[in-house]
Amino acid sequence: MKTPTIVKNLAHVSLMAVSAFWVAVATAEASQTEQTRAWTQQYFERLSAADASVSDFWADDIVLFVNNHGPWGGHYGSKASVTQYYRDMASMFDLEKGLTFELLQTVVEGNHSSIRFRVQGQHKSGAYDNHYMQVYTWNEDGKLSRIENFYGWGPFAEFHRQALAKDQARQETPGQARPGTPGQARPGTPRQARPGTPRQAP
Amino acid sequence: MRMKGVLLWAMVLAPSAALADDGKSHEQLTAETRALMERYFEVHQANDFTIEEFIKFYHDDLKATYYRPTGIFTFTSAQQYYDTYKPERLTTFDFDYKPWTVSLLMLVDGENAVTRYVAHARTKDGEYHNHYIHMYKVRDGKIVEFHAITNPDSGAHYLRNRKFLTDLGLYKGQDQP
């Protein structure tokens, strides 16, 4: 029996409508991903230029998670506390000698993105060369609602090791001993939290 | 009529037709990488994976880099990585207790992927909780590059670096909640 043309046409149209729907869904997801990719790129450009306007990308209710148990680790639950965190971080570097950011890898999917980058510069405790990975969650307005900051602790551990060695050497040299116990953190080193650093529970 | 149908189908399918150099679209590469990462994660969650199960995920040119408080460690072959990683797991964890993972975020973008998660397990010394971020590059369906940063306190503690961290004043004697 021959299928009537109208049935054939209806079948074609139905199939196309279903395909078009799923293609539209996939296209919307791809479009969101590409939008997130563009935001991420713009954000990194400002971050790497140490441009204070980087905070324009932060939502008012942004949460920053810094992944370590050091004094800077934990959750920062407001735009003001995130700003203070970055100010504190910047204060540990000699910015006049330059701070270079090298973007090494980007992964973007939907409203999330993640970047891996290397930072080189002059930390107040010595030459600095470290690797970072950050995960970003973007809201629909193109603002960051969450930043997760992971970085290697090797350089900081090395600074502390050098500081310990210097303390030990001073103690062993008559007349050079400094007050305090060996290995005690000095103000300004990342080991000692600054009073008033605003941090909130998640 | 037939030509009109072909044109309509071409219009519908066009958005997903951009191809990468190897002839696969970005969407295809993303789907393949996601499948690989999901299998990889499953195997790593198990305690009793074999060298064969472990190595099959890695490219011959593997470069695996760990950023630890004691420095940067790079493994340049799957065998070398396995030979270090497996004994470390075996001497650290109590495998009667199945490790579990929460807050898993997996992002896949072509042949790039990232996983961020919190792992809970039991070591021979006590509870273990650690934050991880791993970033991968995939080539020819296998992991060719892998970068890992873990929580430097609790992870390093259980990886026998406790004394080092204590000396540095970085260990506070409590685990990540």
Mean pLDDT for each consecutive 10-residue tract of chain A (202 residues)?
74 72 70 96 94 94 85 86 91 89 98 97 90 96 96 79 78 58 37 36 29
Higher pLDDT, B157 or A194: B157
pLDDT (0 to 100) of residue B117: 86
Beta strand A144-151 pairing with B71-75: unpaired
Evaluate if residue B11 carries a pLDDT over 60. Answer: no
Q: Shortest Cα distance from B52 to chain A (angstroms)? A: 29
Q: How far apart are CA A8 and CA A130, in angstroms?
A: 64
Q: How far apart are CA B4 and CA B163, in angstroms?
A: 74
> What is the percentage of chain B residues whose pLDDT exceeds 90?
29
Q: Which two tokens stand for residue A77?
A: 């639950």
Higher pLDDT, B55 or A8: B55
pLDDT (0 to 100) of residue B27: 93
Domain positions in chain A are 5-169
A109/B176 CB distance under 8 A = no
CA distances B53 to B42, B82, B145, Å, are: 11, 11, 18
pLDDT confidence bin for B138, thresholds 50/70/90: very high
Q: Is the dihedral of CA B150, B152, B157, B163 positive or negative?
A: positive
Q: How far apart are CA A140 and CA A80, in angstroms?
A: 21
Helix (H) or strand (E) holding A102: strand A99-109
Evaluate if residue B18 carries a pLDDT over 60. Answer: no
- Among chain B residues, CA nearest to A109: B107
- Among chain A residues, CA nearest to B15: A27
Residues 123-142 of A with CB under 8 A from B: 131, 133, 135
List the strands of the sheet with A99-109, edge to edge: A74-76, A58-66, A144-151, A126-138, A112-123, A99-109
Beta strand A144-151 pairing with A126-138: antiparallel
Contact between B73 and B86 under an 8 Å Cβ cutoff? The reply is no
Kindly report whether the global pTM for this prediction surpasses the value 0.80.
Answer: no
ipTM of the complex: 0.75
The domain defined by A5-169 folds into Nuclear Transport Factor 2; Chain: A, (3.10.450)
Q: How far apart are CA B87 and CA B110, in angstroms?
A: 33
A135/B70 CB distance under 8 A = no
A154/B70 CB distance under 8 A = yes
A105/B135 CB distance under 8 A = yes
Contact between A105 and B111 under an 8 Å Cβ cutoff? The reply is no
User: Using CB atoms, which residue from B69, B112, B153 is nearest to A107?
Assistant: B112
A67/B131 CB distance under 8 A = yes
Contact between B135 and A107 under an 8 Å Cβ cutoff? The reply is yes
Residues 159-178 of A with CB under 8 A from B: 160-161, 164
